[in-house]
Amino acid sequence: MTALVYARVATFQLWSGVLESGGYDVIVEPLTDEKLRQALLRAGEVSSRMP
């Protein structure tokens, strides 16, 4: 499973918790269409390589 997490503010605790739980990325504000698109593409690439 690949998980993206959205947050208004990314703290070290949030990042480490997401990564330790198997999450892929934390997307923070300001959120642009391009930033979201790139995060989704990267997550999809990683997900497609997982067994």
**CA–CA distance, 8 with 31 (Å, rounded to integer):** 9
Helix ranges (H only) for the chain are: 12-20, 33-49
Compute the C-alpha angle 47/40/15, nearest 5°: 85
The token pair at 25 is: 């990325």
In terms of residue numbers, what domain contains 14?
A: 4-49
- pTM to 2 decimal places: 0.62
- Structural domain total, the chain: 1
User: How confident is the model at residue 14, as a pLDDT?
Assistant: 92
Task: Reply yes or no: is the peptide bond before residue 51 cis, omega within 30 of 0.
Answer: no
Chunked into runs of 10 residues, the chain (51 residues) has average pLDDT values of 81 90 84 88 78 66
